């Protein structure tokens, strides 16, 4: 029986490893999706800031065209000065020119403010672009590591599944059936070790005499509380 218990103990460890790999299989795609969403968010944020810059540049060009229009009006009005014949017409023309100059001055101030905003935004975008490049590089590295883990897990899955198949045929059939029944009922753990006279499945103390028998590994002994098969793996304790 000792040999069968040893094989079953190895099988239990393999089953736990396979369960861990299965859990990781579910987790990895979620992690990759989060990283991809984060990448998309970073890129969208940068594009919005870039769109804001483009909008300001467009507004600046529009105002510059508007300014040229006002300056052209001033030139035309000043060109008509020699044609004025009365003081009333002269004063009206002066008022018109002053109005155009005020409009031009206002537009120039608006252009200066926009240019200051553009300059500041360009600096922010330059910093943002560097930060984003660093962030995206780190994300790509994380994705690469996740993919490597997935590949490694796939290899481990095949190797452990193959070993499990071999062990399943070597363990005594009734013991194997009992183990599988317990494993299904106990969250994948049908066999546990005992340490310091304590079941490592439910952490309830086992009777001293039972603990002595468990250490022999010569018979199927089950925890009085959780019913799992108990096994002595040495774990650094003296018999």
Q: What is the pLDDT of residues 177-193, one digit of tens each?
A: 999 999 999 999 999 99
pLDDT at site 236: 47
Buried b (16+ CB within 10 A) or exposed e, 38-67: ebeebeeebeeeeeebeebeeebeebeeeb
Question: Are 230 and 222 in contact, with CB atoms under 8 Å apart?
Answer: yes
198-203 CB contacts, 8 Å cutoff, 24+ apart: 199/223, 199/225, 199/226, 199/228, 199/230, 201/226, 201/228, 202/226, 202/228
Distance of CA 196 to the CA centre of its chain: 42
Least confident of 29-33, 65-69, 148-152, 207-211: 29-33
Averaged confidence pLDDT in the chain: 92
Q: What is the mean pLDDT of residues 165-188?
A: 94
d(CA 200, CA 198): 6
Q: What is the pLDDT of residues 89-126, one digit of tens each?
A: 889 989 999 999 999 999 999 999 999 999 999 999 99
pLDDT at site 235: 64
d(CA 159, CA 167): 12
Write the DSSP assignment of 63-91 as a string of letters.
HHHHHHHHHHHHHHHHHTGGG--SHHHHH
* Stated length of the chain: 239
Q: Does 202 have pLDDT greater than 80?
A: yes
Band the pLDDT of 237: cuts 50, 70, 90. Answer: low
Band the pLDDT of 239: cuts 50, 70, 90. Answer: very low
pLDDT at site 83: 87
Q: What is the torsion angle, in degrees rounded to the nearest 10, for the CA atoms of residue 213, residue 219, residue 220 and residue 223?
A: 0
Identify the residue whose tokens are 């040999």.
Answer: 3
Distance of CA 143 to the CA centre of its chain: 9
Can you name the CATH fold of 29-170?
A: Helix Hairpins (1.10.287)
Band the pLDDT of 170: cuts 50, 70, 90. Answer: very high
pLDDT at site 116: 95
Q: What is the pLDDT of residues 44-78, one digit of tens each?
A: 988 998 999 999 999 999 999 999 999 999 999 98
Phi, psi of 192 (to 5 degrees): -135, 160
d(CA 99, CA 103): 6
d(CA 37, CA 150): 20
pLDDT at site 39: 87
SS3 102: helix
Q: What is the pLDDT of residues 16-41, one digit of tens each?
A: 999 999 999 889 888 888 888 988 88
- Residue ranges of domains in the chain: 29-170, 174-231
Q: What is the mean pLDDT of residues 171-179?
A: 95
């Amino acid at each position: 029986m000792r040999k069968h218990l040893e094989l079953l103990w190895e099988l239990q460890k393999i089953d736990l490893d396979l369960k861990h790999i299965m859990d990781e299989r579910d987790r990895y795609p979620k992690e990759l999706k989060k990283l991809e969403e984060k990448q998309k968010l970073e890129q969208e944020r940068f594009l919005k800031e870039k769109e804001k810059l483009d909008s300001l540049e467009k507004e600046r060009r529009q105002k510059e065209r508007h300014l040229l229009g006002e300056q052209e009006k001033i030139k035309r009005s000043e060109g008509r000065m020699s044609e004025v014949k009365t003081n009333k017409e002269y004063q009206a023309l002066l008022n018109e020119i002053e109005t155009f100059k005020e409009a031009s001055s206002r537009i120039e101030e608006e252009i200066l403010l926009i240019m200051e905003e553009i300059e500041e935004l360009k600096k922010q975008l330059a910093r943002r672009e560097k930060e984003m490049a660093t962030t995206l590089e780190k994300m790509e590295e994380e994705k690469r590591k996740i993919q490597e883990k997935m590949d490694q897990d796939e290899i481990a899955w095949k190797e452990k599944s193959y070993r499990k198949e071999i062990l399943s045929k070597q363990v005594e059939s009734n013991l194997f059936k009992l183990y599988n029944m317990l494993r299904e009922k106990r969250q994948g753990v049908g066999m546990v070790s005992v340490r310091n006279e304590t079941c490592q499945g439910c952490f309830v103390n086992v009777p001293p005499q039972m603990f002595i028998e468990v250490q022999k590994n010569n018979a199927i002994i089950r925890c009085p509380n959780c019913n799992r098969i108990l096994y002595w793996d040495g774990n650094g304790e003296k018999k």
